[in-house]
């Protein structure tokens, strides 16, 4: 049975040079284009990506073995001899996975003005290189906002209507503070970043900011998790999250060349806020990573999946949770809890807060200072009044004191 055909073209679309992908509207093709981060054009009935040689090579590899890719129109671009080559930079996978999917506009009947608003918002989010999670979140709430005002041009929606929508939505769903702010930010992004209107902080009542202490694993619990992990790879993943204070996305994006074994440093490229930083490489982790690399032989990413692409963030979450479960830890442990633990344990040992700020990549010292609330550094110096009472063997002021010191020592609560 012959394979279905997929056509690649280099075209002009929405004032951009794009790689157009004409594929059957069936599985597994729909899944492939979504994983690539393609944008769908309703008018042209095709999927597209911003044009680049590396993205074209990655798209070709995604369809290889599944369909016959017709790239004859690209030969004038000197791609005919390059389609089956491995991309020049192994970082292509990361670049493509970071390309956000568009705001889906085909699920209901939208007005042309609403479609234009969604396309405009998608374009700005892509151009500003927002994270996929932010892109998805903004898309969900912006679509709900538009759906609440059917047949109305988004540019003509008033401040009173915006405020009413936010209050109604929050009240109906009892959203947490973080979600309330995401709704507000999604709407503000359209009016301020897309339409270029002035910032107006006053026109939507912001909820009170919650203060929640971070969950922290103890040093003993971290060791128990490392012991409980299934294999060397999983141990290294947990160990790197904790020992370098990495975010999940920073671990998945960690390349072999980012680990400096000679200087015992980890270079974090493009962390939160698109900022590079340097963190610690534990001597024990260096030994473990050498052993891991010899056994698993990663080629580009420090931690790779079976397809040699960067490891899945979802899989990392599962590894951490399973290790915590096997270790008998009742706390809800996530990759970010290990990052919290890294910072808190450093603070426990007296490390200067500014150094911790640099290691974590925090823009503000206020963000780092939250770990002072869970650090045991100063709390350990405080003696509980109950302990102080029973440590005072004379118990001069205790009317409930036993008649003798010997009797006090026999009291159950006294160790």
- Report the catalytic residues: 247, 272, 336, 339, 362, 371
Q: Are 281 and 256 in contact (CB under 8 A)?
A: no
d(CA 218, CA 228): 15
Tell me which H or E stretch contains 278. strand 277-280
Count, in order, helices (H) and strands (E) of the chain: 17, 8
Residue 290: Cβ-neighbour burial (10 angstroms; 0-12, 13-18, 19+) = exposed
What are the phi and psi torsion angles at 369 (to 5°)? -65, -20
- The pair of structure tokens assigned to 71 is 């790239």
Residues 6+ apart with CB under 8 A from 219: 345
Strand order in the sheet with 39-41: 39-41, 46-50, 16-22, 5-13, 68-70
Residue 396: Cβ-neighbour burial (10 angstroms; 0-12, 13-18, 19+) = exposed
d(CA 255, CA 309): 11
Q: Are 5 and 68 in contact (CB under 8 A)?
A: yes
Q: For the packed helices 313-326 and 335-348, what is the interaxial angle rounded to 10 degrees?
A: 60
State CA 35 to chain mean position distance. Answer: 17
d(CA 112, CA 115): 5
d(CA 84, CA 82): 6
d(CA 238, CA 225): 8
d(CA 321, CA 317): 6
Residue that has been written with the tokens 């490891």 in this structure: 311
């Amino acid at each position: 049975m012959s394979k279905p055909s997929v056509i690649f073209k280099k075209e002009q679309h929405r004032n951009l040079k794009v790689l157009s992908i004409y594929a059957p509207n069936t599985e597994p093709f729909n899944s492939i284009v979504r994983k690539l981060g393609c944008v769908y054009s309703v008018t042209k009935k095709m999927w597209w990506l911003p044009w680049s040689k590396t993205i074209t090579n990655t798209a070709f590899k995604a369809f290889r073995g599944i369909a016959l890719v017709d790239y004859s129109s690209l030969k004038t671009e000197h791609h005919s001899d390059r389609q089956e080559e491995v991309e020049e930079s192994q970082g292509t996978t990361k670049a493509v996975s970071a390309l956000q999917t568009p705001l889906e506009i085909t699920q209901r009947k939208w007005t042309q003005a609403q479609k234009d608003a969604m396309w405009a918002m998608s374009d700005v989010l892509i151009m500003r290189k927002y994270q996929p999670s932010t892109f998805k979140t903004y898309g969900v709430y912006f679509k709900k906002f538009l759906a609440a005002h059917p047949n109305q041009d988004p540019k003509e929606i008033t401040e009173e209507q915006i405020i009413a929508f936010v209050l109604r939505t929050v009240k109906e769903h009892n959203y947490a503070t973080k979600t309330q702010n995401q709704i507000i930010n999604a709407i503000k992004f359209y009016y301020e970043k897309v339409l270029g209107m002035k910032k107006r902080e006053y026109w939507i009542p912001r909820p009170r900011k919650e203060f929640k202490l971070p969950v922290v694993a103890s040093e003993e619990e971290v060791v128990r998790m490392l012991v409980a992990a299934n294999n060397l790879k999983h141990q290294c993943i947990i160990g790197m999250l904790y020992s370098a204070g990495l975010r999940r996305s920073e671990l998945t994006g960690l390349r072999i060349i980012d680990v400096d074994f000679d200087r015992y440093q980890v270079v974090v490229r493009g962390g939160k806020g698109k900022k590079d930083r340097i963190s610690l490489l534990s001597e024990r982790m260096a030994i473990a990573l050498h052993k891991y690399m010899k056994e698993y032989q990663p080629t580009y990413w420090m931690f790779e999946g079976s397809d040699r692409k960067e490891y899945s963030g979802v899989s990392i979450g599962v590894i951490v949770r399973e290790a915590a479960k096997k270790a008998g830890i009742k706390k809800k442990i996530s990759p970010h809890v290990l990052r919290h633990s890294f910072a808190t344990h450093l603070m426990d040992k007296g490390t200067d807060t500014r150094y911790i700020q640099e290691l974590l990549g925090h823009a503000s010292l206020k963000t780092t200072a939250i770990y002072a609330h869970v650090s045991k550094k100063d709390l350990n110096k405080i003696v509980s009044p109950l302990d102080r009472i029973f440590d005072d063997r004379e118990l001069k002021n205790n009317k409930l004191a036993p008649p003798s010191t010997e009797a006090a020592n026999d009291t159950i609560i006294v160790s």
